[in-house]
Amino acid sequence: MNSAPLRDLVSLLGKNGWTNRVEQLRLRLSAGAQSGKLAAQRFAAEAAIEKARRGLALTGAESALVELATRLPALYEDLSPSGQTRLAESLDTAMTGDATLTPLLHIMHTAGLQEARGFAVGFAGLELGTPYDLIIERDGTSAEIACETLSAEDGRSVHRAAWTQLIDRVDPDLQTWLAAHPGRYLLKMTLPKGLKAGTENLPELHERIKTMLAAAKRADYDEAAILRLDPLLLAGAQAFDQGGGMMAKLRREFGPEANFAVTETGNSLLVMAARGAQDEVAGAMRRRLSSIAPARLSGARPGILAMFIDDTDRTEWPDLRDQLRLEGEARQFLTFPEAKPVIAVTCASRFELVNTQGSELRFRNPMHPLAKSPALAPAVLSTL
């Protein structure tokens, strides 16, 4: 990869600021085996930029993220001074705490899609300070696009950040217990109240698991959690990393929303499986759509709400997409009064972001006066 765009990007981000951010990410990645893996997924763009800056080989997905990010310096040069200030402020926010570059990359990706469809694209949010991010125009007809990022965690009963923290905390205890109790076990956890990071229920659950194992109990339950330890009797229990092995069987038994972790010591193995209330990721998207439509669209022209569903994985995203969960919630929203200015809702994930041939899901509002506009068709026609 040409080093000049990377130098321009790091210069835009600020060399000292970028160095500090890389150090922050290093600490996150080393915080725990499972928490580190989750952090690597969340900060994939930042990690890819640093790999490219160091001249390391990139995967196809990493290259796509870096390519999107290196468009930012050229955009900065094209903006007015006030637009440059807004972009710089957005970048500062993106490099702070749990924030990421993903929302800005979502805007860049959306703009690129519309340009490829023949639209002229203006970055109105940066240039003019509008609540929407983009204005697109084709054959004399224009529309507004508000790009919104939603974490799938907002719809989960058991947060993956909390789950990975629990695994990192309890794994040493499980290693010790397995060494003293050779065999294969399944620890099933039903969590009616869910599990969230930064709350007391995480260390409390850790202590309950430790106490249960130390007391040689097979079950423990109250209103917050139901724990049960059983022998692992599934056929193929030694093949948990294969498509037809143990983990595939467990996922079929517990459902796609369940969380799993495997601890091994020698020939001994313990699988933790946790499930809370049914996840409502698509429902969380509908609620976000209802809240942002009045706030982020002017109503002066057709509006597109471009939703980016972050923090999903290769199992969850296809399920949301192929089981029509996103479509069902988006179409329900389009019947609400607050959807009146909305001509279409689009949905994308990181999988579309890094796929140069990929496109977003689109759901057109048939009740909008310009729903059948030929000029806007490439941006609003439903994909399902």
Are 237 and 184 in contact by the 8 Å Cβ rule? The answer is yes
> What's the confidence (pLDDT) of residue 357?
67
Q: Where are the domains of the chain?
A: 1-81, 101-155+280-384, 157-275
Residues 6 or more apart from 262 whose CB is under 8 A from it?
A: 240, 247, 269, 270, 271, 272
pLDDT band at 313 (very low <50, low <70, confident <90, very high): confident
d(CA 148, CA 348): 10
Locate 23 and state its tokens: 């150090």
Q: Report the predicted TM-score, pTM, of the whole model to 2 decimal places.
A: 0.93
For the segment 25-80, what is each residue's pLDDT rounded down to a tens digit? 999 999 889 999 999 999 999 999 999 999 999 999 999 999 999 999 999 999 99
Q: Is 81 helix (H, G, I), strand (E, B) or coil?
A: helix
Average pLDDT, the chain: 92
Name residue 261's beta-bridge partners.
Answer: 272
Q: Is 237 helix (H, G, I), strand (E, B) or coil?
A: coil
